[in-house]
Amino acid sequence: STESLVQATIPFEMGKIVGLQSQSRSQAETSTQVFLKSSIRNFRGADATSPLSYKAVMLEYSRPKKEKVKRRSKGSRMNAAQKRRMKLFTIRPEHQRYELFLPLHHLWRQYITDVCSGLKPTSSPQFLQQKLLKADLHGAVLSVVRSRCPSYVGTTGILVQEFKHVFKIITKENKVKVIPKRNSVFSLEMGGFTSFIYGSRFEQRASERSAKKFKVRGTIDL
């Protein structure tokens, strides 16, 4: 029967393999009493079989602790100086070719058309300007129309990188130019509209600019 199987002694050879040893009847009863006392609620040490014969027995249960996922500390991220040392933002000389960035420009034209709801001739200039202020400009063709440094005026190229204080553009002569935003005015053509960007009021990163609220100003000085 099942009871005889449960109470049967473990063969000596099997006990050696599994690391167990058969107990005598008195030892087994003592172990059972200790187990039930520690596991069954309100057990008073009476007949061990009586609580099992007429109702369900509630054994103590403790939920396994969840392992806390360690969040990545801010200290493990690279700062700006480390990124510069690793030259993460440096465009290699073999990649400094204007034609390589023409597909990016075509993608930007499609993107800005969607952002500005189609760039219709009837679109309001104020509406387009507000959309442009928060748009991503990577791939746009920028031209420097005014600057306190005369050598920058007339520079035209595709914007390949935008930082907080500078635009990095590549010209048709395959030269990468770094133009400071401050004290410069840029023109940008999109779908028949020409907009002017005053760099001194544009000194934010692209990710920051998308969430910034711009105020309308009467006059802007270089």
Q: Is the pTM of this model over 0.75?
A: no
- What the block records as the tokens of 109 is 């034209």
Is residue 184 a contact partner of residue 169, using CB atoms and an 8 Å limit? no
Q: 3-class SS at 155?
A: coil
Give the pLDDT confidence score for residue 222 in this predicted structure. Answer: 46
Sheet holding 141-147, edge to edge: 176-180, 166-170, 156-162, 141-147, 184-190, 193-198
At 157-173, the pLDDT tens digits run: 999 999 889 999 999 99
Residue scoring higher pLDDT (184 or 222): 184
Give the pLDDT confidence score for residue 39 in this predicted structure. Answer: 66
Give the pLDDT confidence score for residue 186 in this predicted structure. Answer: 94
Judged against a pLDDT cut of 50, whether residue 56 lies above it is answered with: yes
Give the pLDDT confidence score for residue 218 in this predicted structure. Answer: 45
Residue % of the chain over a pLDDT of 70: 73
Is residue 105 a contact partner of residue 141, using CB atoms and an 8 Å limit? yes
Judged against a pLDDT cut of 70, whether residue 88 lies above it is answered with: yes
At 168-209, the pLDDT tens digits run: 999 999 999 999 999 999 999 887 788 888 888 888 887 787
CATH number of 91-205: 2.30.30.210
At 134-155, the pLDDT tens digits run: 889 999 999 999 999 999 999 9
What integer best gives the mean pLDDT of the chain?
79
